[in-house]
Structure 1
Amino acid sequence: MVHSEQSLKPRIVHRNTSKSKGTQDTDSAKKDDVPKSRRWKVLLFVPALVCLLAVYLLSRRSGEEIFVGARDTVTKAVLEVPCSHDYDNEEFHACKPKRCARVVMDNLVADDDAKHLLGVAQKCLALGGSSGGASILDLHSGALSMGNSFVNIYRLMKSSKLRLLEEKDFKIYKKVKDQIHDAIAAEFEIPKNSLYLTKPTFFSRMNTKLPKTVHDEYWHPHVDKKTYGSFHYTSLLYLTTYGEDFTGGRFIFQDTDGNKTVEPKLGRLSFFTSGSENIHFVERLKDGVRYAITVSFTCDPSQAVPDPDSK
């Protein structure tokens, strides 16, 4: 949604400046009757008003724009951005972005599949969870947040004789991953066999607990290609909805001409090129719990990871 801006025009008031001497004397007397303290208040109020107006106009120019809201339903929304220089020396030419963009799709992943994956995240993270506000579950490596560190969920399940993960969980996970892979390859015109799943690919849970480690501070702007190294394309599948399950927690692209915001929604897929053209952060959560899956892809076959399976 793009907000139009009306120009502010001064109101011109015409006054009769011709006055008789008597009138001038009366006006002077009235002026002298105004207490000096009130005059100073007026003089101080005017520059303050000017400053507030300037701040307002600046915020209108460089403020936030909702790219896709939680109440919107889009088949595909695309916002193209100029590619950064991060790809200038890219050696994987078949996979190198020909164009850079942000894409949101609401109808790619079925609601039932998204709800199933939400259930996977909830039951597994209930077993562990960070002592701070951000927890992860990585089905590929088995990493599960536990306190201020991580444990291996497969070892934990084996030692506790728990059967949290079923064959169906992995089947739906792979199905959704393949749908995302195909969508990114088609949008950016990449041969599918040149685009590989990479790490970290993980479920995330955010709540309002105070951060305990640097990993809990998810609200700092960053670039995925620089943060993770192997990333060329990043995607997020949202498993809960902004305004219903939580507030805060929106995904914000940081641009010089004003931030562009994606509001999470159950089953919504958002993906983008991972370079400096897409610096971003997640708004700090205000209340509720936010679940999502980050699914990342690389052009480098040496950084590929296999699909997880039931163990």
Structure 2
Amino acid sequence: MNINDGYKGSSGGEKSASPHTKNEKFEGIDLRRISFLVYIGLLKPAYLRLLLEITEEMRVKLVHKFNIEESLYFSYTHLVCRSALAGSSQNRTDLSHKIHADNCNVLGDNICAKKYPAFHWRDYSAILYLNDDFEGGHFIFSADSKGRKIQSSIMPKCGRMVGFSSGSENLHGVTGVTKGRRCALAVWFTLDPTYQELDRDVSQHMLDNDITFHQYYSQDINTE
């Protein structure tokens, strides 16, 4: 995962504290790893193709909804699940993911620095929910960095998408998942082609040309 997403951040190579609660198990996989699983035959190519198609639909919806006239590029694609740990209280008040912005370091109310370790090139964000058979895990927008002034709370529903601009104008977080596992497809976009997700082109090339480890291995055997 992008380990600094939502982090308060540190400099000089110091390790940042996780923005995710210790009361849940956090699991994620990105496009590069998914493509690798397809390459070595542990995942069907159809799943990767479906992922590319769905995320493209997400991009198109953002462009239309926000009337984006510039080219909008994929920056990072992340499939993530949050699971309540056995024995954790269902009356928890901690956040699954602390209040943060997607392209700047929140240093305090009205202060959000676009510098390392923030992914300052992100311009738009989108979350697509993949299930709803869990409890808690609401997506929240906050007017302040401590989550004292919640502006809206969105209940995840399978197929529901939340899209927003990535700056400090949209501070957000996730309430605690108190039961079950919450899975979502998170995608970040940029207007700067310098930071576009190159793994996406590699994945598409691999699918278009049916490139897998087993294919190459069988070709080597046949030529001996």
- Report the TM range for the smaller structure's normalisation: 0.5 to 0.7
What 5-or-longer segments of structure 2 have no aligned partner?
1-22, 87-94, 105-117, 207-211, 213-224
Equivalents in 1 of 2:166, 2:37: separation in Å?
A: 33
Q: Which residue does the alignment assign to 1:299? A: 191
Residue identity matched to 2:56:
D
Q: Give the one of 81, 84, 102 matched to 1:208.
A: 84
Residue identity matched to 1:236:
I
Q: Which residue does the alignment assign to 2:44? A: 166
Q: Give the one of 112, 127, 144 matched to 1:236.
A: 127
- For the residue of structure 1 that corresponds to 2:103, the secondary structure is helix
Residue identity matched to 2:156:
P
Report 1 or 2 for greater relative contact order, CA contacts < 8 Å, sequence distance ≥ 6: 2
Q: Hey, which bits of structure 1, 4+ residues long, moved more than 4 A?
A: none
1:273 has 2:150 as partner: no
Higher helix fraction: Structure 1 or Structure 2?
Answer: 1
CA displacement at 1:254 relative to structure 2: 0.6
Q: TM-score, normalised by structure 1?
A: 0.46
CA displacement at 1:156 relative to structure 2: 10
Q: Give the one of 62, 83, 86 matched to 1:184.
A: 62
The structure with the largest alpha-carbon Rg is: 1
What 5-or-longer segments of structure 1 have no aligned partner?
1-130, 144-152, 211-216
Q: Give the one of 36, 50, 63 matched to 1:154.
A: 36
- For the residue of structure 2 that corresponds to 1:174, the secondary structure is helix
Equivalents in 2 of 1:247, 1:164: separation in Å?
A: 31
Higher strand fraction: Structure 1 or Structure 2?
Answer: 2
Q: Which residue does the alignment assign to 1:148? A: none
CA displacement at 1:132 relative to structure 2: 5.8
CA displacement at 1:209 relative to structure 2: 2.8
Percent identity of equivalent pairs:
28
Equivalents in 1 of 2:150, 2:49: separation in Å?
A: 40
